[in-house]
Amino acid sequence: MSNDANIIFERPTAMSDRITHYCPGCTHGVIHRLVAESLDELGLRERTVGVAPVGCSVLAYNYFNCDFMEAAHGRAPALATGFKRTRPDMIVFTYQGDGDLASIGMGEIVHSANRGEKFTTIFVNNAIYGMTGGQMAPTTMPLQKTTTSPSGRNVELTGYPIRMVELLSTLKTPSFIARVGVFSPMHIVQAKKIIKKAFRLQAENKCFTMVEVLSTCPTNWGITPIASTKWVASDMEPYYPLGVFKDYEEGEG
Partner 1 sequence: MVKKLMKGNEAIGEAAIAAGVRNYFAYPITPQSEVAEYLTWRLPEVGGTFVQAESEVAVGNMLFGAASTGKRVFTTSSSPGISLMQESLSYMAGAHLPVVLVNIMRGGPGLGGILPSQADYFQSVKGGGHGDYQLIVLAPSSVQEAVDLMILAFELADKYLAPVMIIGDGMIGQMMESVEFPEKYRDESNPDEKDWALTGAKDRKPRIVKSLFLNPEELEINSLTLDKKYREMKKSETRHELYKVTGDTKILITAYGTMARICQTVIDELEEEGISVGLFRPITLFPYPEKELFAEVIKDNIEYILDVEMSTGQMIEDVERIVKGARPIDFYGRTGGIVPSPNEIKDKIREMLKK
Of residues 39-58, which lie at the interface with partner 1 (CB under 8 A)? Answer: 45-49, 51-52, 58
Q: Between residues 70 and 237, which has the closer beta carbon with respect to partner 1?
A: 70
- Contact between 67 and partner 1 per CB under 8 A: yes
Stretch that binds partner 1, among 61-69, 195-203, 226-234, 240-248 (CB under 8 A): 61-69
| Number of residues near partner 1 (by CB under 8 A) | 36
Give the three-state DSSP class for 154: coil
Binds partner 1 (CB under 8 A): choice among 83, 129, 176, 240: 83
Phi and psi for 181 in degrees, rounded to 5? -125, 160
Binds partner 1 (CB under 8 A): choice among 69, 167, 223, 227: 69
Binds partner 1 (CB under 8 A): choice among 27, 57, 81, 215: 81
Instruction: Output Rg (C-alpha) for the chain, integer angstroms.
Output: 17
What type of residue sits at position 217?
A: C
Phi and psi for 182 in degrees, rounded to 5? -130, 35
- Contact between 65 and partner 1 per CB under 8 A: yes
| 101 close to 121: Cβ distance less than 8 angstroms | yes
- Contact between 167 and partner 1 per CB under 8 A: no
CB of 75 to partner 1, least distance (A): 4
The length of the chain, given as a count of residues: 253
CB of 108 to partner 1, least distance (A): 6
Region of 116 on the Ramachandran plot (φ > 0 left; ψ -120 to 50 alpha; else beta): left
Binds partner 1 (CB under 8 A): choice among 20, 40, 61, 132: 61
Nearest Cα residue to 101 out of 78, 64, 76: 76
- Contact between 193 and partner 1 per CB under 8 A: no
95 CA to centre of own chain: 5
- 3: exposed, middle or buried (Cβ count in 10 Å: 0-12, 13-18, 19+): exposed
Which residues bind to partner 1, rule: CB under 8 A? 16, 45-49, 51-52, 58, 61, 64-72, 75, 78-87, 90, 107-108, 110-111, 115
